[in-house]
Chains A and B, each alone.
Chain A
């Protein structure tokens, strides 16, 4: 019995240690050393990299990342809630609609982000169409700005918002909606006083599931933001590539992880582990 249990546990222990703990240890050790001239790390050991996190230059990027992620999360919740509600209420096509929500995952995220570039650029679909219709003369600056990044983030992570809200709404006892109507609540009052409060755990889970990947996003701001370091993800990437500052890149990564962990702990404290 004991051997069998060990045998079944072995693969997951192996993967956790090799693929998670060891790289993490390397990152931690990198973050505490000094940058090499051509990348890599050299002695001596130092905490200088963490001190630099408080440099206003980087602080700006972090604050902007947080605000952009919050904006994307809010938009995902605003769009995700009605979508989930529509799917839950559509008894006949529920599974079809859910599959449609998942459909984008069947293609590469990179390809889909490029598709947004084709939509948003000066000669893209939207601008061409608006010019052709005579609504505008000059193309609108739709691409390579923060709005484009937020649009891309919302597009990319909307399914992560829909699914937890959907499962929360699905579990909602329909008798509660009838009880509310029975007690004189008009549909919008039932929505506001019964459905939304009872959907709070789903909305919080959705919020965290969208906010976390948004905060660490790198591809979307890189492609739609025009190559500037506008979010933490790009900042980290730059440290490992052009800036050749692996220790500082590691320190930022760990700071990001720490922030995310705090967020998750707060959520689990509140909603229990099912929240995730």
Chain B
């Protein structure tokens, strides 16, 4: 059962992209199984889900690389179905960046403007490269750009056309973790500055949570939940959403995230607590993950934000949490 939070538009803005009962059937599976979405104008919207959940197929249908078997794709009131990719006012930042290796960063950015028959594009190209901090590297070929620079060139190339919608296909996944966090921040800042609607595809929950105004969590071709990052993290509608967005300890139907799970050798007198035996305590620098087994054999993890905390294997502990922190999911 999908539960939709915050129905209607974010900040009362008009709808940019509307997907209506989209279906895509592959020989072996229905990869997109009746997806309906309203994406508000100027929104940073993420489609989040594991690989094979259908998110990339949706992106390809919006871009025009693939046609839906059923349903409509409507962008700012105009039906896009049947239009060729080059006829759609939509651009894409590809996972592999897909920069033209025979063209310089400058010419990559100018590519779309040249196709439009524009001749006075020098300022646009330079401004676009400057926006992503690559003004100095305009004459470099992709082979001589770092991963982050390639990613930013791809972004500049897609944005210079001032699309009605920008699609981003896991654009950060090819970057190393440290760079990914920095680029993530830049991406968010650029989106806020230019106000173009972004549709971002990701399987990384941290990435989606940190970037998005709104997230649609997908699983097996369907939407599990739509909401703001806080909504889907703090009030997951389904067990799948709860588990996909972060670790969860399941105590029967009730879920508690490790960071809200308290642990101690004794519990405060006035709270309900669970007895458990410590399996292992994993030191992570800024926190310690304590895995403890309860009487019924389930393992509960408590994340303790105190580097000094340590437990021995076999130690008897109590686990407890605030009732208000419990995740109540439909299934």
Chain A contacts to B: CB under 8 angstroms:
173, 175-176, 178-186, 189, 193-194, 197-198
> Could you tell me the distance between the alpha carbons of A61 and B100 in the complex, rounded to whole angstroms?
44
Contact A184 B86 (CB under 8 A): yes
Which interface class (under 10, 10 to 19, 20 to 34, 35 or more) fits B? 20 to 34
Stretch of B108-116, B266-274, B275-283, B292-300 that contacts chain A: B108-116
Contact A176 B63 (CB under 8 A): no
A residues near B111, Cβ cutoff 8 Å: 180, 183, 185, 193
Given A180-B111, A185-B111, decide whether A198 and B101 contact each other with a Cβ distance below 8 A: yes
Stretch of B41-49, B89-97, B219-227, B306-314 that contacts chain A: B89-97
> Could you tell me the distance between the alpha carbons of A179 and B98 in the complex, rounded to whole angstroms?
6
B residues near A175, Cβ cutoff 8 Å: 94, 96, 98
Cβ contacts A to B, 23 pairs, < 8 Å = A173-B96, A175-B94, A175-B96, A176-B100, A178-B63, A178-B65, A178-B92, A178-B98, A179-B92, A179-B94, A181-B85, A181-B86, A182-B63, A182-B64, A182-B85, A183-B86, A183-B91, A183-B157, A184-B161, A185-B115, A193-B111, A194-B100, A197-B102
Contact B115 A184 (CB under 8 A): yes
Contact A189 B63 (CB under 8 A): no
Which 5 A-B pairs give the minimum distances between C-beta atoms?
A: A183-B112, A179-B98, A175-B98, A181-B85, A184-B115
B residues near A194, Cβ cutoff 8 Å: 100
Point out which of B98, B99, B158 has the most chain A C-beta atoms below 10 A from its C-beta. B98
Query: Is B84 in contact with chain A by the CB < 8 A criterion?
Result: yes
A residues near B86, Cβ cutoff 8 Å: 181-186
CB-CB contacts below 8 Å: B62-79 with A: 63-65
B residues near A180, Cβ cutoff 8 Å: 100, 111
A residues near B161, Cβ cutoff 8 Å: 183-184
B residues near A185, Cβ cutoff 8 Å: 86, 111-112, 115
Chain B contacts to A: CB under 8 angstroms:
63-65, 84-86, 90-92, 94, 96, 98-102, 111-112, 115-116, 157-158, 161
> Could you tell me the distance between the alpha carbons of A193 and B84 in the complex, rounded to whole angstroms?
18
A residues near B91, Cβ cutoff 8 Å: 182-183
Contact B115 A173 (CB under 8 A): no
Distance from A2 Cβ to chain B, minimum over Cβ atoms (Å) = 40
Contact B100 A179 (CB under 8 A): yes
Contact B115 A183 (CB under 8 A): yes
Distance from A270 Cβ to chain B, minimum over Cβ atoms (Å) = 14
Distance from B96 Cβ to chain A, minimum over Cβ atoms (Å) = 5
A177: nearest chain-B partner, CB-CB: B98
B residues near A183, Cβ cutoff 8 Å: 86, 91, 111-112, 115, 157-158, 161
Given A175-B96, A182-B63, A185-B111, decide whether A198 and B102 contact each other with a Cβ distance below 8 A: yes
> Could you tell me the distance between the alpha carbons of A193 and B116 in the complex, rounded to whole angstroms?
14
With A182-B86, A185-B111, A197-B102 already in contact, 7 other A-B pairs whose C-beta atoms are closer than 8 Å:
A173-B98, A175-B98, A176-B100, A179-B92, A184-B161, A194-B100, A198-B102
Contact B85 A189 (CB under 8 A): no
Distance from A271 Cβ to chain B, minimum over Cβ atoms (Å) = 13
A194: nearest chain-B partner, CB-CB: B100
Contact A176 B112 (CB under 8 A): no
B residues near A197, Cβ cutoff 8 Å: 102
Contact B94 A178 (CB under 8 A): yes
Contact A184 B112 (CB under 8 A): yes
B residues near A182, Cβ cutoff 8 Å: 63-64, 85-86, 90-92, 158
> Could you tell me the distance between the alpha carbons of A182 and B115 in the complex, rounded to whole angstroms?
11
B117: nearest chain-A partner, CB-CB: A184
A residues near B102, Cβ cutoff 8 Å: 197-198
Point out which of A173, A176, A179, A198 has the most chain B C-beta atoms below 10 A from its C-beta. A179
A residues near B157, Cβ cutoff 8 Å: 183
B95: nearest chain-A partner, CB-CB: A175
B residues near A198, Cβ cutoff 8 Å: 100-102
Distance from B127 Cβ to chain A, minimum over Cβ atoms (Å) = 17
Distance from B170 Cβ to chain A, minimum over Cβ atoms (Å) = 13
B115: nearest chain-A partner, CB-CB: A184
Distance from B268 Cβ to chain A, minimum over Cβ atoms (Å) = 57
Contact A184 B116 (CB under 8 A): yes
> Could you tell me the distance between the alpha carbons of A81 and B36 in the complex, rounded to whole angstroms?
44
